[in-house]
Amino acid sequence: MGAQLSEKLQDVFNEPGCDKNQGKSDKERKKGCTKQLSPGAAAGGCAFDGAKIALQPIVDVAHLVHGPIACEGNSWDNRHALSSGAATYRTGFTTDINELDVIYGGEKRLYKAVKEIIDKYDPPAVFVYQTCVTALIGDDIEAVCKAAGKKFNKPVIPVNSPGFAGVKNLGNKLGGEALLDYVIGTAEPEYTTPYDINIIGEYNLSGELWQVKPLLDAMGVRVLACISGDARYQEVAYSHRAKAAMMVCSKAMVNISRKMEERYNIPFFEGSFYGIGDMSDSLREIARLLVQQGAPDGIIARTEALIAAEEARAWARIEPYKARLKGKRVLLITGGVKSWSVVAALQEVGIEIVGTSVKKSTKEDKERIKEIMGEEAHMIDDMPPREMYKMLKEARADIMLSGGRSQFIALKAKMPWLDINQERHHAFAGYEGMVKLVQEIDKTLYNPVWEQVRLPAPWDVAGVLPSASVRLPNRPAAQGWPLEGRGENALDSSLSSAG
């Protein structure tokens, strides 16, 4: 690991904005805040992936992955982060290095790749991602980016977050560091207003930002930059001129929020777009911060009026579902901010939360959960698939809300399941999103297939037909834990903390 990179890691691990981090001794802090990986156990994504997903939603930038094919091949455009304009971010750019590059170094190829991108696509900037192999052979992407940027007179941003640096969440932060080091503060907006804000840690998955933006428009608030959902390079570059910031996903980009506060005096708060109450709180907080920063205080009344109207509308639309959903038990397996923001949202419609995972949640996240669910909140730190399966199988829950990777555990346990992570097909943010989420939960719960799934084949009901069904030769009877022998974490339940 290069000296530069380990220095960066120390910096990232020392996060004053994180209570948990500050509660540690110096020695502990040095170890880093990410849990050590245990070899042999299946794990989630790597630091490269984390950096890539954190930055890829910047839509007009060419994201060039310097490494062998697998890194880009597997991460190419797989997160439903939507764009309202340029689609450059959806094109897969990679240096696709080969054996000779490993021997002789891949810097020249990288330089040429940057040149070709600029020649053919002319994006406002090129982001270059370091990967394990190119880091191991010692390719200095910072130097190449510097040289290329100078030569082509175009920002070429190194994102130094090779996979071996750590887990995905660390990569989210390293991606943020790249923005802090090379992008933020490098341009000036045409004009500013007292109502300019940044939204940090929102990725516009399935277009969620668009469910919120009309509300901000109605308040008269301008989103100067969203980092990084549906963002343009220029917006990120001049985002330091915002008056206030909202941080949406705490674990992923707390470093950006805190450092922007330090460097540019932009106060931030942590809020959520999920759930009616949380959405309203977030709007209030935005208004409050802006007034605190000198905006005329008329915005407070405007915001309250908007909240009243929107809440009434949303409740009216949710009302018909309340009777159908009341008392339904939900198991939430997700990470970070969603662990509490979705809890509050679901409680609002009378759904009972039997448990929520806190594997990727911060201390603050956990505090919020306790606030919302009470001290006895059933927090599941790291639920192995076997436990999850058992819980679902025993029908202690009616539905599981999780990311795509836990889907199959739910299905095999005959449990309705709804995707609330990055691969989901619906946007759940804002008032509109909450109505949508309730609709989707209702649809999923009442899908007729669950009845089918839970019933045995009709001929298995004793006495109906000649019994003793014939077993297939060489095929043991399927019983108990269906994933036996594949290791505890074979189906990893961990989910993106950036999502």
**What are the Cα distances from residue 375, in Å, to 332, 345, 354?**
17, 18, 14
- Residue 104 or 446 with smaller CB distance to other proteins: 446
* Closest CB 455 distance from other proteins, rounded Å: 9
Of the residues 6, 22, 74, 84, which one makes contact with other proteins according to CB under 8 A:
84
Beta carbon of residue 465, minimum distance to other proteins (angstroms, whole number): 5
Stretch that binds other proteins, among 80-88, 131-139, 271-279, 363-371 (CB under 8 A): 80-88
> What is the helix (H) or strand (E) element at residue 226, kind and residue range?
strand 222-228
Does position 492 bind other proteins by CB under 8 A? no
Q: Provide, rounded to whole angstroms, the least separation between the CB of residue 333 and other proteins.
A: 17
DSSP 73-125: HHHTT-S-B--SS--GGGS-EE----HHHHHH-SHHHHHHHHHHHHHHT--S-
List 440, 495, 496, 499, residue binding other proteins (CB under 8 A): 440
Binding to other proteins by residue 187, rule CB under 8 A? no
243 or 436: CB nearest other proteins: 436
Q: Which stretch binds other proteins (CB under 8 A): 12-20, 71-79, 129-137, 148-156?
A: 71-79
β partners of residue 331: 355, 400
* 449 lies in the binding site for other proteins (CB under 8 A): yes
The tokens describing 84, both together, are: 């309202």
Half-sphere exposure of 163 (CA within 13 A, CB side): 18
Indicate the length of the chain as a whole number: 499
Greatest CA separation for the chain: 82
Does 481 bind other proteins (CB under 8 A)? Our answer is no
Cα separation of 46 and 252, whole Å?
A: 14
Scanning 326-421, the segments in alpha helix (DSSP H) are 338-347, 363-373, 385-393, 407-412
Closest distance between other proteins and the C-beta of residue 472, in Å?
Answer: 5
Among 63, 80, 168, 405, binds other proteins (CB under 8 A): 80
Backbone angles phi, psi at 91, to 5 degrees: -85, 135
From first CA to last CA, the distance across the chain in angstroms is 28
Write out the two tokens for 497: 């903390």
Strand intervals (E) in 244-398: 244-247, 268-270, 329-333, 352-357, 379-380
Phi, psi values for residue 473, rounded to 5°: -65, 145
Is 139 a binder of other proteins (CB under 8 A)?
no
**Are 126 and 118 a contacting pair, CB within 8 Å?**
yes
User: Cβ 354 to other proteins, closest distance in Å?
Assistant: 21
Nearer to other proteins, 103 or 472 (CB): 472
CB of 48 to other proteins, least distance (A): 19
The type of residue at 238 is Y
Q: Which of 294, 327, 374, 448 contacts other proteins by CB under 8 A?
A: 448
- Closer of 308 and 464 to other proteins (Cβ): 464
CA-to-CA separations, 474 to 460, 471, 478, 484, in angstroms, rounded: 21, 9, 12, 17
Of 72-80, 193-201, 365-373, 489-497: span binding other proteins (CB under 8 A): 72-80
To other proteins, the closest distance from the beta carbon of 407 in angstroms equals 8
Structure tokens at 187: 């341009």
Per CB under 8 A, the list member of 21, 34, 56, 83 interacting with other proteins is 83
- Cβ distance to other proteins smaller for residue 103 or 478: 478
Which token pair is 157? 């941003």
Size of the site for other proteins (CB under 8 A): 41
Residue 52 tokens read as 């890539």
DSSP string, 30-87: HH-SSPPP-TTS----BHHHHHHHHHTTBTTSEEEE-S-HHHHHHHTT-S-B--SS--
Scan residues 451-470 and list those touching other proteins (CB under 8 A): 452-453, 457-460, 464-470
Should residue 395 be labelled a site residue for other proteins when binding is judged by CB under 8 A? no
Taking the least distance from each CB to other proteins, the nearer of 344 and 410 is 410
Binding part of the chain for other proteins, among 36-44, 192-200, 259-267, 439-447 by CB under 8 A, reads 439-447
Minimum CB distance to other proteins smaller for 168 or for 366: 168
* Binders of other proteins in range 198-257 (CB under 8 A): 207
The contact set with other proteins (CB under 8 A) reads 76-78, 80, 82-85, 87, 207, 407, 411-412, 418-419, 423, 425, 440, 443-444, 446-450, 452-453, 457-460, 464-472, 475
